[in-house]
Chain A
Amino acid sequence: MTAESPGAGAMIGQDRYREIFDAAPVSLWDVDFSGVAALLDRWRAEGTDDLRAHLMDHPEEVEGAIRRISVLDVNSFTLDLFEVDRNQDLLHSLAGILLPDTASIFIDMLVTLWNGLRRFGGETRLRTVSGREVEVAFTLDFRGARFERTLVSLRDITAQKSAERAGIRLAALIDSSEDAILTKDLDSIITSWNRGATELFGYAAEEAIGKPVTMLMPAERRDEEPAILARIRAGERIEHYETVRQHKDGTLIDISLSVSPLKNADGTIIGASKIARDITEQKRAQEQEHLLIREMNHRIKNLFALASSIISLSARDAETPQALKARATERLAALARVHSLTLAPHGQIDAAAAMPTTLHALIKAILSPYDEGSDAAQRIALSGDDLQLSPSATTSFALLVHEFATNAAKYGALSNERGTITIESKQRGDRLIISWIEREGPAVAPPASSEGFGSYLAKATVKTLNGQINHDWDPVGVTVRLDVAVSRAQG
């Protein structure tokens, strides 16, 4: 530009203005708003007080105002933006490019003019003649006494808006993620930090951003960082790397880490994004599972040892293979009944593997085969203090009660129709006293030999439970008193 004097502008011809108008990379409109000015006069003459309220109540007035706008000219950019071929198309179809939600902006514009202001701008959505929506930033510059030379300019911001929205969505996504998501530059300085990272590591975003990422590493893990950085510089991704990081309060957290190179628009690696997930709970569950499997293995092996002992000890007092089979099978069945008491309910398995059983539940389970008769419930009475038993005491008690019951069924109160058994348990400090009293059975006498399985088992059991056992062979019925240490019975 060589012209410097104020009058130089006048030297530029109409054609040149037209050229500038058409070449401008914005949508420019030359619009006559005098029809709108006349409407404003009419509303004033009618004594309209609150124009906004009036227009809200009369949408047809807004439509009337739009019809009174006269588009005189638009530039080439405008034709491209609204996908029209000829100027005339747009000049006659202004209503066609407005969307229903443009009405509120139109009301704002009218109120602005009403209030005597000469400029109005904002952002809105419009549509092209083919129906595609475009987002625009617009300004209206009302010139002339009756606004007859109003200049409208529109900038297409569709791409910018959609990028902005994508950015907002991405930010919302990152912020709502339960995973910790952070970025760092190639000097390992933290450059962004989401809410998940605050949750996981305990630092607020403003405490973390600008600090070295090594502050999240326990001292013995700091040597991981150069290795991670080297791989990032080489453009590699690191996926589901299991490591340990340190919370602000010093606690160590098991995490699974994925690290990806972060590139700028040219594709140059400028840092890394890290996604960290807390796997402490997962690790704990895994350990729990291993513990459970080990415990199960252990119990199974123990059961084999126990079964093997039951068979070889049952052979002591069995005269025939059939008798051995019958006794060993009954004893194993008694153990199986009690074992099912200790099974955890489905889906509630924990490391303890076994549910504690109570003494009374155990006695009921063992006596259940004898409980099936019509009046059996009246024949066996169980009362007194109940307590939980340790798994090993459970086995001992089960076999012992089973021996009492089989003896009663063979020789005692359960061998006739009238016999009764009263079982009472009493806890006195560390002592548990269980009385097994049979009455109304056939007359009883002490057994000839005390070398059978039952008496062996009784002796061994009371030794383990630090107790004693007494049999009172009263002819009206046997009374067994078992006195054991509660601390041993509960493990």
Chain B
Amino acid sequence: MKSPFSALVLVVEDEPLVRLDAIDMLTGAGFRVVDAANADEAIAILEQRRDIRVVVTDIQMPGSMDGLKLAATIHDRWPPIALIVTSGQAWVQQRDLPERGRFLPKPYSGPRLVEAIQAAL
């Protein structure tokens, strides 16, 4: 089995800087990363690539669906993918997330993000 650190992570975040920062943290930790600025882009990428193991998504995003809907959709269509949902809002509850989803409050540090992904894998 491959090291989890080489797993491919999809980061979905509309705020470019926060997205960049997340990409930076993950590549620094050895992950391979693809990114999307909204849920529609994320779905398009997921439909093309079969090797994504983890999706890290923000909740509040413009577009046809927010991060919670995206997580639910991924859980239905690609059940093996691990899900990390992040938000600045403190009131996201485990029951709002799909079964394998984890919540990570914002702002997060690199080690916290990496920890969350390792736990989800």
**Do B107 and A298 touch (CB < 8 A)?**
no
Q: Considering the chains assembled together, what is the distance between the CA atoms of A300 and B87 in angstroms?
A: 12
**Do A309 and B21 touch (CB < 8 A)?**
yes
Q: Considering the chains assembled together, what is the distance between the CA atoms of A312 and B19 in angstroms?
A: 12
Residue among A304, A316, A456 making CB contact with B107, cutoff 8 Å: A304
**Do B16 and A457 touch (CB < 8 A)?**
yes
Binary interface encoding of chain A residues 467-491 relative to chain B, with 1 for a CB under 8 A from any of its CBs, else 0: 0000000000000000000000001
Chain B residue contacts of A300, Cβ below 8 A: 88
Q: Considering the chains assembled together, what is the distance between the CA atoms of A390 and B18 in angstroms?
A: 17
Which partner residue on chain A sits nearest B58 by CB separation?
A: A305
Q: Considering the chains assembled together, what is the distance between the CA atoms of A385 and B25 in angstroms?
A: 38
**Do B24 and A316 touch (CB < 8 A)?**
yes
Chain A proximity of B86: nearest CB distance (Å): 9
Q: Considering the chains assembled together, what is the distance between the CA atoms of A429 and B16 in angstroms?
A: 24
Q: Considering the chains assembled together, what is the distance between the CA atoms of A316 and B17 in angstroms?
A: 13
Query: Given A301-B106, A308-B107, A309-B107, A460 and B20 touching (CB < 8 A)?
Result: yes
**Do A298 and B16 touch (CB < 8 A)?**
no
Q: Considering the chains assembled together, what is the distance between the CA atoms of A298 and B14 in angstroms?
A: 14
Binary interface encoding of chain B residues 24-39 relative to chain A, with 1 for a CB under 8 A from any of its CBs, else 0: 1100000000010100
Q: Considering the chains assembled together, what is the distance between the CA atoms of A309 and B35 in angstroms?
A: 16
Does A157 count as interface, using CB distance less than 8 angstroms? no
Which partner residue on chain A sits nearest B22 by CB separation?
A: A309
Counting chain B CB atoms within 10 Å of each CB, the highest count among A300, A304, A313 belongs to: A313
The count of residues in chain B whose C-beta lies closer than 8 Å to any C-beta of chain A is 20
The count of residues in chain A whose C-beta lies closer than 8 Å to any C-beta of chain B is 27
Q: Considering the chains assembled together, what is the distance between the CA atoms of A464 and B15 in angstroms?
A: 8
Q: Considering the chains assembled together, what is the distance between the CA atoms of A297 and B88 in angstroms?
A: 9
Instruction: Identify which of residues 379-412 in chain A touch chain B, using a CB-to-CB cut-off of 8 Å.
Output: 390, 392, 395-396, 399
Chain B residue contacts of A309, Cβ below 8 A: 15, 17-18, 20-21, 107
**Do B16 and A464 touch (CB < 8 A)?**
yes
**Do B16 and A460 touch (CB < 8 A)?**
yes
Chain B proximity of A362: nearest CB distance (Å): 16
Chain B residue contacts of A308, Cβ below 8 A: 21, 107
Q: Considering the chains assembled together, what is the distance between the CA atoms of A67 and B83 in angstroms?
A: 109
Counting chain B CB atoms within 10 Å of each CB, the highest count among A301, A310, A491 belongs to: A301
**Do B24 and A392 touch (CB < 8 A)?**
no
Query: Given A464-B37, A491-B62, A305 and B106 touching (CB < 8 A)?
Result: yes
Q: Considering the chains assembled together, what is the distance between the CA atoms of A308 and B87 in angstroms?
A: 14
Residue among A304, A310, A464, A491 making CB contact with B88, cutoff 8 Å: A304
Counting chain B CB atoms within 10 Å of each CB, the highest count among A310, A399, A463, A464 belongs to: A464
Q: Considering the chains assembled together, what is the distance between the CA atoms of A6 and B89 in angstroms?
A: 104
Does B60 count as interface, using CB distance less than 8 angstroms? yes
**Do B20 and A305 touch (CB < 8 A)?**
no
Q: Considering the chains assembled together, what is the distance between the CA atoms of A300 and B106 in angstroms?
A: 11
Chain A residue contacts of B60, Cβ below 8 A: 298
Q: Considering the chains assembled together, what is the distance between the CA atoms of A309 and B21 in angstroms?
A: 5
Which partner residue on chain B sits nearest A463 by CB separation?
A: B37
**Do B88 and A305 touch (CB < 8 A)?**
yes
**Do A457 and B107 touch (CB < 8 A)?**
no
Counting chain A CB atoms within 10 Å of each CB, the highest count among B19, B21, B110 belongs to: B21
**Do A305 and B15 touch (CB < 8 A)?**
yes
**Do A306 and B20 touch (CB < 8 A)?**
no
Counting chain A CB atoms within 10 Å of each CB, the highest count among B16, B19, B24, B35 belongs to: B16
Chain B residue contacts of A395, Cβ below 8 A: 15, 17
Chain A proximity of B56: nearest CB distance (Å): 13
Chain A residue contacts of B88, Cβ below 8 A: 297-298, 300-302, 304-305
Which partner residue on chain B sits nearest A464 by CB separation?
A: B37
Chain A residue contacts of B37, Cβ below 8 A: 463-464
Q: Considering the chains assembled together, what is the distance between the CA atoms of A300 and B21 in angstroms?
A: 18
Does A461 count as interface, using CB distance less than 8 angstroms? yes
Residue among A298, A392, A396, A399 making CB contact with B89, cutoff 8 Å: A298
**Do B89 and A301 touch (CB < 8 A)?**
yes
Chain B residue contacts of A312, Cβ below 8 A: 21, 24-25, 110
Q: Considering the chains assembled together, what is the distance between the CA atoms of A259 and B82 in angstroms?
A: 58
Cross-chain pairs A/B with CB under 8 angstroms, 10 sampled: A304-B88, A305-B106, A312-B24, A312-B25, A392-B15, A456-B20, A457-B16, A463-B35, A464-B14, A464-B37
9 A-B pairs besides A309-B17, A313-B17 with CB distance below 8 A are A298-B89, A301-B106, A306-B17, A309-B107, A310-B17, A312-B24, A313-B20, A390-B62, A396-B16
Which residues of B approach A to under 8 Å, CB–CB?
14-21, 24-25, 35, 37, 60, 62, 87-89, 106-107, 110
